[in-house]
Each structure stands twice: as structure tokens, then as C-alpha cells.
Structure 1
Amino acid sequence: MLAVLVIATPVAAQAQPLDQTQPRDGVPAVDDSRAQSVIGHETLEDALAEVGATPAAFRSQSVLADRLADASDDYTARFPEAFAGVQIVGATGQVAVVRDSERSEMLIADARSRGFSVSSAPAPARQLDETAERAQDWADSLPPGQRDGVSAIEVDPSTGDVTVVVEDSATAPAPPADLGAGVRAAGLRPAQGSLGSGAAILDAPDPPNPDPGTLLSNSMVGGTRMYVLSPSRTVANWCSLGFNGIRDGRVVNITVAHCSSFTDQTTGQSVFRPGTVSEDSRSPRLGAFTSAEADEGMDAALITVDPEVRPRFRNSHVLGENALPIALSGTQSPVRGQILCKYGQRTGHTCGSVSGVDSATPGGVRNVTINLCAIAGDSGGVVFSATRAVAVTSLSNAFDRYDQPYPNCEAARTDLALRGTVPTMVGVTVGAISSRFPGLQVGAA
């Protein structure tokens, strides 16, 4: 078990406004309000309606995604040369098949017997996943400064393409030609908010001691705002809590590593430093990041919750309608075309369809790309399907031409439309995080 430093009198920082001096060249002043809510939808139903979906369709797609994931596992084993992948098209599950390959007709018949439609594909899933794995290994081998420029790997069974998604094509390293992967720039960046800080010392209240799983009036659930203070106590990030969980008997919160990343004054690069977590700059400490449970390349981390406040995290909930928590039950692997929703402390609920995954088989997905809005401060928050945990928010393209985050989702949609694109985020799947940290249980009820 990891040794965790518990501070009896937690230390927090008093946030100070960022410099509001207008930069040169007409660049907008830096926004210092990344802990302020700019929620556009008070209910999940409203967020779903914006993308033409209903709560019933959201639930049915979650069931369909499970069926496709089960079929994918079966087909990968039984039809390795013919099976190319799965996706959701409208309300239908679709299986991609390499026609004229060994046993392709048997696969087609089986897929149709399960109520799935069939599409043609040029290459089997195993081949696409092998290419994607090589591309991911290449990306993870890059020096930190270059690795940060690679946002995700995407696999498209319908075209047989494996694409390295980069922040900026002009500065990102080009993958080796023998990988057989294309490159696409998407302008995706970490969606956390940073601020300067001073220091203040506060006393912690006596914690309640309810039965495990009891939802308290002050429970900390997925999507709640969190304040991450650097070890030097000179800078902090605003982020969102991810899913609560348990590992090695400890209560943890599953989130992204960059919420505890801070600028190195020598190199100017953002690097992980194990910060402490509280609700805001004047609140007692709740827990801490640790170097042992952080993966910068994956952008995944666990927050170890301090023993005296564990009861507040002993739940499997995320924020829901009018900030009332929704109980989750289990996890799910995302499927291309599926509608997913996220909750972040800045923008609340936003929903959209899965536009990219980095594996042709759902169980192997590490990063999921979703056409929905997440802005600075939403990082680390929860991505879910009906009542299933799917991913935590990592990257977003909701930044203007001056690399400043948009103030809200409406501004992001309007300006990105003029630039020929839509708000998009990348999440790190809970399946991948669980594999990275063996023994992790998603849900702490």
C-alpha cells in the first residue's frame, strides 16, 4: 500500500486574479474565471435534446453498445480474418466485414441473426489494432515536449485508416512511414484552468461517519469542482472530479494527470507534480495526487482521498439534473457512433456522438473522441452512457485562434463553425485506466 501523507491541518491557497493586462497584437486578456459555472443545460434531457436524442434513446444506445462489445469479442476470436469492427448508425448496430475473406459469409449471417446491419471494410480489426498499437507505442516513446503534441490515435474500420491526431500539424512530429498511419490536426489541448495563488491555513471540520454508500449532503461526486494546488503552493489548477473508486483498500478518485501538471519555470513545459486537492482555495484538503499513480502519457491519475474525508467519496454518483447526483452502475467501452454525455464543473452536461476511437474492438479503446463541448475547467470530469462510467475528460478543441479557451459552449460552437469544425473532446476510458492501475474498482459505494 502506498504511504500517504495526511496533514492534520490542511493547507489551501487563496486564489489571486490573473494579470488582466491586454496582451500585445490584440490577443484577448486571459480569462481568470475558470471555476465559474457557465452551464448551458440544467438537465441531461436538455443536453440530449440539443443533439437530437432522448433519454430513452440514450439508454437504448447504452444497451446496444454492450451488445456490440460482446459481439466484437466473439467475432474477434471466431472470425479474425473477416471481422473489421463495430459502430452504431442511428438506432442500429453495424458490423464491418472484410468480404471475400475466410468465413466472411458466416460472419454476415451471424451478425444479421443478432439484428445488426453489415458494412464492407478493407482490413480486419486485428490488423488495424496492431497498427494502432504501434502508433501508440511510437507516440509514448516521444520526449515529453513532443508527446504532448499527439492528441490521440483513431481507427476507422470503414476505411481501414489509422490516424495520428495532433494538436498542430506544423509542429507535431511526423510518424515513421512504416507505421502506415496518417496525420490529422485537431487543435486539441488540456481543458484545465490555471491560476496564480497565495497561501492560507484553515482547520478541517469533523467528518461525518455514515454507512458506506450513503449519499451525504456534502458528498463529493463525479463532475464536482476541484482545486489542485501545486507542491510549491504558488500555482493551482481548476478541474473536475472524475469517478470515485477503490484501490488497495483506499478510496480514490479517477481523473486525468494534467490536472496536477504545472509549468516548469526552467523549461516552460507543463510537467506532472503531485498536488493536493480541495474544493476551492479556502477549503480544507481532501486528498492528493501521487507520482506512483499517475501516467502522463496516458493522461490518467488517481487521487488518494484522505482518510478523514473518505465518507464523502464513498459513492458511485455523478452530478446530474440541477446538480442532483445520478447513481452509476458499472462501466462500458465506447462504440463509434454512440451518444455519450459528460459533466464538468464549468459547462455541466453536454452530449454528442463518438466520432473516433483508437481500437477497432471496443474493449481495447484507450482514447475516445466525442463531438461535444468541454472548456477549460472541465478536465478530469465524467463521461458516461446512461448509468455506465465510460471515460474522463482529457482534451478539448474549445480554444480560439489566440489559444485562449472560449468563455462558454455557445461561443465555442459559433466560432468553431466559422472555422469549419465543431466542439470536440477526447476522453481517457476507465477501461484503459483500470488496466493501467491493476486492482482499481470503478465506483466506491
Structure 2
Amino acid sequence: MLAVAVVTAPVAAQAQPRDGSPMVDESRATSAIEHDSLEDALAEVGTTRGGFRSQSELADRLAAASDDYTSRFPTAFAGVGIVGTTGQVAVVRDADRADQLITDARSRGFSVHSAPSPARQLDQRAERAQAWADSLPPGQRDGVTAIDVDPSSGDVTVVVEDSGAAPVPPADLGAGVRTAGFRPAQGSLGSGAATLPDAPPALLPNSMVGGTRMYVLSPSRTVANWCSLGFNGIRDGRVVNITAAHCSSFTEPTTGQSVFRPGTVSESGSTPRLGAFTSGEADESLDAALVTVDPEDTPRFSNSHVLAGGAEPLALTGTQSPVRGQILCKYGQRTGYTCGRVSGIDSASPGGVRNVTVELCAIAGDSGGVVFSETRAVAVTSLSNAFDQYDQPYPSCEAARTDLALRGAVPMMVGVTVGAISARFPGLQVGAT
């Protein structure tokens, strides 16, 4: 998880890396903005705004086809994905009506490939694996990163941290296990008054848009996290911001565990309060929460925009479910824009995806920020693998890419989808402010 804790009262001792060298204070680090411009971030992954738009439209077409095929061809349809710029439909070729499914998919301009299991079976296995993970005690549950469903291979995989916190899934779940280096990035980074990096300005005066810096002060007022605002929305007539629950989690001194506590939100340690987290609208297992905006500040949050450094904020026009292979981008207050392809989802059906894994860089401070497809809200940033061998967050994407490459890895993040968040908090309208 990608919040960064900023201790606002003196502490007896500071945490140290295993080699004993001083820990970098991310709150005082130089700017780590990767890309100010969406165009530059897209160029890095070999596409343009037009290509980004085409991918979003293709994902919508595949999601619609998935809903149709799930009901019409329940034993033959296995899932959808994007390879390059082509939409693909996975088909169980020896199943009932497989030939009709293949004909229909090709008539819509999709290619087809063989798969061993229908989507409904994959999703049932994934749901059992997710239920098992959610039933674990908090210390063990935190060790499960995500469930990954791959229609092309028929594999359902439980992705766990390499800390060994999570137990091995029971054999009857029919799920494999893969270790990944995802880490929570919440920790004590120094003492004294918080000093935060400069955030890219929003063009709209005083507006609070997705990706803007968010300072979360604990109920005890002794420690604070800085994160990124997610998408603005409305629930029960209140203006809210949809973000990561761990942005309001704080370390318990007696246990050393990070626990959700409803903190207050502001722009920095020296600016007035804007709103607050509540225990009733936070789900630690999902890592999603709603910030209720204070009534006097609702005009500042009454927009559906995403921050853009030095340019007019990007207006979002709706929501979208992610598809494997699709290009998505994120904006976080720490690194700005980064983009990459979806490499993992936890449902063969796009509408059922809860967690999405994307090959893009997000580092400490980007938590809670916005993940989107062209102008569609997709997810909020939750987890990252951008940590060094001493479990310390990298200071920049460049450092993350360089060091992870030596370990045969690339920067990746896990996001919680707006579809899952909306299902968890009924009545939530994303971008309807």
C-alpha cells in the first residue's frame, strides 16, 4: 500500500533499514514526478491519446460481448482480453455451441483462441479463493495481494507477499500460489512537523480533483499519512472522495500492526480540514474507503476531473471495467502520470473484477490515486512492488525500474476497481458531482 506516514510528534527511535544506514525521509525528498503530461506517459508505452481512446472503446466492446456470451454460451465462453490492439475471445472448443460462439466473435472483429475452462467455472474458483483470503485473520489476510484469473490457461492463482505471512491455500480451492514483492508503504519517515513535496497545481481555482495530494491526520493527532485523492462522487446526497482505506491506517504502538482509524483530511499539516474518513465507509479487506467532504468544502470537490500538472485537469465521463492486456494510466501526487498494460485480473468476466494488476510505476505517496482508461474511471491505487531489498520504498520510478530490472522484474501496481467499490457501498455514484 502506498501511503507514506509522516510522524508529527517526536519519537524515541527511528526505524532503520537492515544495513543500518539512515532511512530516506520521503516527506522531504525531491520531486519524483515521472510525467507531467498524459501524452508523455502514453508515449513511454508506445501509444498515443488516439490509441488510448481506441483501447478504451475496445475494452467496452469486449465487456459487452462478455456479458452476452456468458448468458448465451455458458459452457463455451472462457473470457476476453486484448493482445496488442486486437480483442480476443477465449473459447472452450469442445463445448456445446462453441462453433456458434467462434462465428459470432469473428463477426464482431475479435480473434479467438482455445481455453480449457469456461468463465463461470473460473469465476467460481476465484470467488472461493477470495472468500478464503477474506476469512483469514488480519495479519495473514494482509499477506494476500490479489487473486489472478487467466482465461487462456485456465489458471486461478493466489498472489501473496514474499513475507510468508499468508498460509498456503487449501488444495480444494483449485488455486495455485505465486509470490510477488508487493508491499505496504506505510511507515515512520521522520519526526517533527511534516514537510510535503510540492504538488502539481490544478488549473481550476481551489478545486480538489483526482490525484491531488491528501494529508490524513490520525484521531490522536500524533501521526499523519500523505496519499492521493481518488475519484469524486456522491453517496446519500453527500459529496465523497473514493480512495484507499489504508491511507487512514496507523500503526498500533502495542502490536506494531497498521489498523484503520478514521482520520481527518486536509491539503497539508498547516491547512484547514476538508473532510474525514468514517469507520462505516471503510473496508480494510478491499482496501477502499470514502472520505466524506465537509459541507463548506463541497464546491471544491464538485467535479469529475483528474489532476494534470501544468495543464487543464482531465474530465472523466464515466466508469469502466478493466480487461486483461488493456493499457491503463494512473495519476498520483508523488509520480504524476504513468501508464502500462493490465497483466492480472481476478475475474474472467470484466464486470466482476475486484483487483487489477497493471505494469506501471507507483511509489510511496501515490496510494488512493486515480487509475483510468482514456476518460473513464477504472480503479484507485492500492499496492506496489516498488520496494528495495530492505523493504524501503524507492525514491523515484527511475530507481525502481533500474533496481527491479536486476531482479528480473518491472514496476507494478494493484488497483481496487470502482466497480467493486460501488458494489461495496451501494448508492455510490462515481463522477456524478
CA shift for structure 1 position 265 = 1.2
Which stretches in structure 2 are left out of the alignment for 5+ residues? 1-5, 195-202
Q: Deviations over 1:257-302 (max 9, x none)?
A: 0000011111111110000000011010000000000000000000
Q: Deviations over 1:40-92 (max 9, x none)?
A: 21211111111111111101000000000000000000000000000001111
Map 1:130-209; keep pairs closer than 5 Å: 130-168=124-162, 170-191=164-185, 195=189
One-letter amino acid of the structure 2 residue matched with residue 344 of structure 1: G
Change in Cα spacing, 1:119 to 1:19, as seen in structure 2 (3 Å) is farther
Change in Cα spacing, 1:150 to 1:25, as seen in structure 2 (3 Å) is closer
Aligned-partner SS, 1:62: helix
* Counterpart Cα distance in 2 of 1:24 and 1:349: 29
Counterpart of 1:75 (choices 65, 69, 72) is 69
Change in Cα spacing, 1:413 to 1:399, as seen in structure 2 (3 Å) is same
One-letter amino acid of the structure 2 residue matched with residue 279 of structure 1: E
The answer as to whether partners of 1:196 and 1:235 remain within 8 angstroms in 2 is no
The answer as to whether partners of 1:34 and 1:346 remain within 8 angstroms in 2 is no
The answer as to whether partners of 2:17 and 2:392 remain within 8 angstroms in 1 is no
One-letter amino acid of the structure 2 residue matched with residue 190 of structure 1: P
The answer as to whether partners of 2:307 and 2:314 remain within 8 angstroms in 1 is yes
CA shift for structure 1 position 253 = 0.2
The equivalent of 1:207 in structure 2 is none
Task: Tell me how many residue pairs correspond in the alignment.
Answer: 419
Q: Deviations over 1:79-138 (max 9, x none)?
A: 000000000011110000001100000000000000000010000000000000000000
The answer as to whether partners of 1:399 and 1:405 remain within 8 angstroms in 2 is yes
* Counterpart Cα distance in 2 of 1:291 and 1:116: 45
Counterpart of 1:44 (choices 38, 49, 57) is 38
CA shift for structure 1 position 318 = 0.5
1:436 and 2:424 are equivalent in the alignment: yes
One-letter amino acid of the structure 2 residue matched with residue 130 of structure 1: Q
CA shift for structure 1 position 32 = 1.9
Change in Cα spacing, 1:220 to 1:17, as seen in structure 2 (3 Å) is farther
Change in Cα spacing, 1:233 to 1:359, as seen in structure 2 (3 Å) is same
The answer as to whether partners of 2:359 and 2:412 remain within 8 angstroms in 1 is yes
One-letter amino acid of the structure 2 residue matched with residue 412 of structure 1: A
Aligned-partner SS, 1:417: helix
* Counterpart Cα distance in 2 of 1:60 and 1:142: 41
* Counterpart Cα distance in 1 of 2:368 and 2:432: 17
The answer as to whether partners of 2:360 and 2:411 remain within 8 angstroms in 1 is yes
The answer as to whether partners of 2:243 and 2:291 remain within 8 angstroms in 1 is yes
Counterpart of 2:248 (choices 260, 264, 275) is 260
Which stretches in structure 1 are left out of the alignment for 5+ residues? 1-12, 201-214
* Counterpart Cα distance in 2 of 1:17 and 1:372: 35
Scaled by the length of structure 1, the TM-score of the pair is 0.90
Identity of aligned residues (%): 79
* Counterpart Cα distance in 2 of 1:226 and 1:49: 28
The equivalent of 1:220 in structure 2 is 208
* Counterpart Cα distance in 2 of 1:19 and 1:382: 36
One-letter amino acid of the structure 2 residue matched with residue 225 of structure 1: R
CA shift for structure 1 position 431 = 0.4
CA shift for structure 1 position 21 = 6.8
* Counterpart Cα distance in 2 of 1:161 and 1:380: 29
The answer as to whether partners of 1:47 and 1:351 remain within 8 angstroms in 2 is yes
One-letter amino acid of the structure 1 residue matched with residue 125 of structure 2: T
The equivalent of 2:81 in structure 1 is 87
Q: Deviations over 1:17-52 (max 9, x none)?
A: 989979475244222224753112121111111111
Scaled by the length of structure 2, the TM-score of the pair is 0.93
* Counterpart Cα distance in 1 of 2:292 and 2:406: 43
1:247 and 2:226 are equivalent in the alignment: no
Aligned-partner SS, 1:393: strand
* Counterpart Cα distance in 1 of 2:285 and 2:38: 32
Counterpart of 2:108 (choices 103, 114, 131) is 114
Aligned-partner SS, 1:41: coil
The equivalent of 1:317 in structure 2 is 305
The equivalent of 1:209 in structure 2 is none
The answer as to whether partners of 1:18 and 1:30 remain within 8 angstroms in 2 is no
One-letter amino acid of the structure 2 residue matched with residue 188 of structure 1: F
Change in Cα spacing, 1:199 to 1:409, as seen in structure 2 (3 Å) is closer
CA shift for structure 1 position 443 = 1.0
The equivalent of 2:199 in structure 1 is none
The equivalent of 2:22 in structure 1 is 29
Q: Deviations over 1:152-190 (max 9, x none)?
A: 000000100000001116332111010010111111123
1:307 and 2:301 are equivalent in the alignment: no
* Counterpart Cα distance in 2 of 1:14 and 1:235: 5
The equivalent of 2:93 in structure 1 is 99
Map 1:284-363; keep pairs closer than 5 Å: 284-322=272-310, 324-363=312-351
The answer as to whether partners of 2:18 and 2:390 remain within 8 angstroms in 1 is no
